[in-house]
Amino acid sequence: MIQFIFMLTHSDATVPNALEVLEELRGSELRYVGFKDVGASPEQLKRITDAAHEQELEVMLEVVSTSAKEERASLEAAQEVGVDWVLGGTNPELGTEILAGAEVRYCPFPGTVVDHPSVLKGKITEIAEDAARLTSTPGIDGVDLLAYRHATADVEALVRAVVAASEGPVIAAGSVADLQQVDLLARAGAWGFTIGSAIFENRLPGGPGVRGQIDAVLEASATVAG
């Protein structure tokens, strides 16, 4: 079974009605929810995190800021917000420094990640080598792979290579928009995947509406080959 992380985000930014959307999910089988460090203040993210924890969800903050200064601020805010996971970011030395001793799982981006919305560059071998380096570093638990944000790489080959090279979970993030992609990621060995924008655009089965799509993705995630 591959893990589904529902991102309260659209176009790489946290949606303004995240709290209302969370309330729609009450009583679902969802286990993981996330948001970006763009689009909401730390105070707003704290309220979202508290509401998610009240529903016994694990919470993931994905860092998509493009400067080291902004990334530092987001990493420092992560502890105050109280998230369970920090995903993304391109300065892992900052992450391991700031999150040292915190009860937070840390999964930065492997490879060369640029721009906003984030895109992945580099050869598959280079990205896999970076994933191996990262996950052998104390304080790093896994990687946040922009599998569908690479312009030319074969996605299944990319995911398989990164999974083989990594010592922890590989989370496929960004631009997952249908259940065929979920099946591919599961077959390639990814631990989990994120969907945000596609659900807010009603592109998944079970809609219209967020809750029906969430239930459909959860059902598919439980049955795809892994």
Whether 226 shows a pLDDT value over 70: the answer reads no
Whether 179 shows a pLDDT value over 60: the answer reads yes
Query: pTM of the predicted model, to two decimals?
Result: 0.95
- The predicted pLDDT at position 157 comes to 98
Whether 114 shows a pLDDT value over 80: the answer reads yes
SS3 for the chain is: CCEEEEECEECCEECCCHHHHHHHCCCCCCCEEEEECCCCCHHHHHHHHHHHHHCCCEEEEEECCCCHHHHHHHHHHHHHHCCCEEEECCCHHHHHHHCCCCCCEEECCCCEEECCCCEEECCHHHHHHHHHHHHCCCCCCCEEECHHHECCCCHHHHHHHHHHHCCCCEEECCCCCCHHHHHHHHHHCCCEEEECHHHHCCCCCCCCCHHHHHHHHHHHHHHCCC
List pLDDT tens digits, range 70-97.
999 999 999 899 999 999 999 999 999 9
Whether 171 shows a pLDDT value over 80: the answer reads yes
1 pLDDT tier (thresholds 50, 70, 90): confident
The pLDDT of 212-220, averaged and rounded, is: 97
Domains held by the chain: number? 1
The pLDDT of 51-65, averaged and rounded, is: 96
Residue span of the structural domain in which 76 resides: 3-223
Whether 225 shows a pLDDT value over 80: the answer reads no
What is the CATH classification number for the domain harbouring 170? 3.20.20.70
The pLDDT of 9-21, averaged and rounded, is: 94
Mean pLDDT over each residue of the chain, to the nearest integer: 95
99 pLDDT tier (thresholds 50, 70, 90): very high
12 pLDDT tier (thresholds 50, 70, 90): confident
- The predicted pLDDT at position 104 comes to 97
